Structures are given as structure tokens and as C-alpha cells.
Amino acid sequence: EHFHGTFFTAGAFITTGVGGVLISSIILPNSISVGGSGGAFGFLGVVLFDIKVNWFHLCCFHGADLNGVDMNFVYRKLQYILFIFFFGFILGLMPYQDNFINIIAFIYGFLFSMALALEFIVDFEEERDLKVISSAEVHANNGGLLLLLLCLLMSTLILFSGNGESFCPICESIGCVSFPRNVNKKSELWWYCDLCDASSADLQIDITTGLYSKLELLCPYGNSVKLYMDGSDINNSWVDKNLPEMCRQHCHVN
């Protein structure tokens, strides 16, 4: 923000966050999430492009020879950025996170910076009049801007013209991974990647006995399953406690 201004920083945060939410909503329509993590990961893409486009200034202050510059500083910053990205990706494999927003926002951050490549080169005081824009940078600027606008437009059109079903069901494994993977029973998992915690049910009472006799399980993906119940110990508390497990047994969730 100090070098590039508040408008550029705010634009990068909003564009990357919105872009990540759009594509994540297309791929995972049943688990749409909103938050600031997309914009934060978008900043990582922006900073990565910042290092790339200003590599000479970071490594060779005022035209110094590369052999006389301590490169460890720059490499440490690159390692720090990559560490944050992969650490966030690993955390995103847990439930209630959205890895797609983070990954897509990171890519959008790089595209956003590429689209503004001509304005993105830092103007150091002594080199303000010596800055030369190459034809490759002009092409990168135009290509990045076109690709950024095209991705935003296409993802918006696909989202609003879709039927609410994911065209890539297997992609859900990138957003969340049940752990540990080598258990024999689902009940032994530490966490689940389904939506059964949000499932609900309708109970029906047998007028002759006064007990619950039928349960209609409303599965998280729109279908329903009817189960016949028997036993005097079935009440609302029992249903609330066992509903997620019944969902995993009868709703055919992953």
C-alpha cells in the first residue's frame, strides 16, 4: 500500500476475493462461503508478482552488481510467501474452510498485478526518469487485463446460468479431506467433509401409541429418505444427537 497506493490495494483485495468466491460457488454450489481469506491469498499473488517485476530493484539496489548483493534476503521473502500459501492450503483441507477461494484468489492476484504491470513497477527516486517499459511488459499488461476481465465475466455468467449442481464433484476433495484416511469406520474419523451436520428431519407420531413411528430425513443435497422408527426412547434430543450419523448412513454422502 505504501508503494502502490490505497486504491490499488483495495482493488486487489476486492477483485481477488470476489473472483475466488465466484469460481468456488460454481464448483462447490452446496458449500458457498464468504470471508476475507480470499483477499488475503490474493495479496500473496500480488506480492509474488511484485517481487518478480521489481526483482532488479530488490537484488541490485541502485544498479549494484549481483555478485556484491546478499541474495538471502530476497530468497527468505520468497520462502516466507510460499510457506504461507502451502500452510494455508493444508489448513484449507479441514472442514468449514474453502481452499478453492484461496487458490483461485491467489491466481487472480497474480492476474490483477499482471493487468496493471505498467503501473506496478516501483518508481525509485533516483530511477524515476530512467524507467523503460519493454514490449514484453506491454503485452503482459494487455494479456493480463484481458484474461482477468474474461475470467470475471465468464465465471459470473456460468454462476447465474447454472442449475445449482457442481460440474466437478470430485473437486470437493481439494476443498476438504476427511482425516485420518486409513480408518475402517466413518465414526472413527476426526472430522467429516460432508454437510450432514446441517441436515434436518420431520418426525411423525403414531396416534395409537403416541410414539414416533416415522422419520423423513431431509438430506443436505436435496433428496429425502423415509425411515420407520420403533422404540419409546426416541425423542427430539435423540434425533438431534443421531441425525448426522443417520444422514451419513442413508443419504449416500461422500
- Residues 18-37: tens digit of each pLDDT: 888 888 888 877 666 766 77
- Cα distance from N-terminal residue to C-terminal residue, the chain: 43
- The answer to whether 112 and 42 are in contact (CB under 8 A) is yes
% of the chain exceeding 70 in pLDDT: 73
pLDDT in tens, 185-239: 666 677 777 777 777 888 888 777 777 778 888 887 777 888 887 766 677 777 7
Say which residue, 38 or 163, is predicted with more confidence: 38
Say whether 229 sits in a helix, a strand or coil. coil
- Specify the pLDDT at position 93: 76
Residue ranges per domain, the chain? 6-175, 194-250
Say which residue, 177 or 122, is predicted with more confidence: 177
Say which residue, 103 or 233, is predicted with more confidence: 103
- The answer to whether 104 and 26 are in contact (CB under 8 A) is no
**Strands (DSSP E) along the chain, which ranges?**
200-205, 212-218, 224-228
The winner for highest mean pLDDT among 75-89, 121-135, 186-200 is: 75-89
Report which of 78, 98, 77 is spatially closest to residue 89, judged by C-alpha positions: 98
- The answer to whether 211 and 205 are in contact (CB under 8 A) is yes
Q: Residue 121: is its pLDDT beyond 70?
A: no
- Specify the pLDDT at position 60: 59
Q: Which residues contact 231 (CB under 8 A, 6 or more apart)?
A: 211
Separation between Cα atoms, residue 243 and residue 155, nearest integer Å = 36
Report which of 96, 79, 109 is spatially closest to residue 8, judged by C-alpha positions: 109
List the strands of the sheet with 200-205, edge to edge: 200-205, 212-218, 224-228
Q: Residue 125: is its pLDDT beyond 50?
A: no
Per-residue confidence band for 150, with pLDDT thresholds at 50, 70 and 90: very high
- The residues that bridge with 208 in the sheet, in sequence order, are none
For the ranges 84-88, 132-136, 194-198, 231-235, which has the lowest average pLDDT?
132-136
- The answer to whether 210 and 196 are in contact (CB under 8 A) is no
pTM across the whole model: 0.69
CA dist list (Å): 231 to 73, 153, 157, 211: 69, 56, 51, 8
